Amino acid sequence: AQSVAQPEDQVNVAEGNPLTVKCTYSVSGNPYLFWYVQYPNRGLQFLLKYITGDNLVKGSYGFEAEFNKSQTSFHLKKPSALVSDSALYFCAVRYTGGFKTIFGAGTRLFVKA
Amino acid sequence: NAGVTQTPKFQVLKTGQSMTLQCAQDMNHNSMYWYRQDPGMGLRLIYYSASEGTTDKGEVPNGYNVSRLNKREFSLRLESAAPSQTSVYFCASSELPSGEGSYNEQFFGPGTRLTVL
């Protein structure tokens, strides 16, 4: 069965420091992996996705994510955090040949000035 | 383009009442989805419509029905609301290319916050 785990409910980081939001997945077949961000009282917005090819994927607002097949991980990273990055982040997976997207429980990121 | 729109934004129901949540998208997407979001549980798929004329159950379909009215519109109906259906409901849409699976991202509406007393 497909599953996505975001092991941290919350991540705290100081502005200007690098940030990492972790995600691991379990899926049969090749995965399509996504990161979404949700600001308060808003719907989810797409950040980036991995389909195939280069393991390092770059997305919106300076975010990037690294696909690691051996560790079944897809961690979200940013070299220098901004206060405005504070939001709820969701990792999601869909497998090749599948249709449904499975979302993780979400990680709340707090960036302190 | 408005993207994905949802009405209403907020709703309070009494147990046993019925209501329909409306969703429309103007991106000419084939696929549409309804999710519910509960604290600590992420998003759970209620129903989806791969293309106009088709609907399928997701992870948590009990207590809900859907209608894919046309390519643009996908509604979610609660026939007899229960307190367990208190949640934030999101509609989403995406392209669905031919071939195996879909790697296209989803576009989400702003959500409907529903409280059932």
Interface check A103 vs B, CB under 8 A: yes
Answer whether B89's CB lies under 8 Å from B47's CB. no
> What pLDDT was estimated at residue A49?
93
Residue A84 is classified by DSSP as G
For A89-113, the DSSP string reads EEEEEEETT--PPEE---EEEEEE-
How far apart CA B52 and CA A106 sit, in angstroms, is: 31
Strand partners, B89: B36, B112
- Phi, psi (rounded to 5 degrees) for A61: 60, 25
Nearest-by-CA chain A residue for B31: A99
Yes or no, beta carbons of B102 and A94 under 8 Å apart: yes
> What pLDDT was estimated at residue B85?
97
Yes or no, beta carbons of B106 and A101 under 8 Å apart: yes
> What pLDDT was estimated at residue A101?
87
Yes or no, beta carbons of A100 and B4 under 8 Å apart: no
Answer whether A84's CB lies under 8 Å from A50's CB. no
The three-class DSSP label of residue A85 is: helix
As averages over each run of 10 residues, the pLDDT of chain B (117 residues) reads 92 97 94 92 90 90 95 96 97 73 84 96
- Among A39, A90, A99, the residue to mutate for chain B (most B Cβ within 10 A): A99
Yes or no, beta carbons of A32 and B103 under 8 Å apart: yes
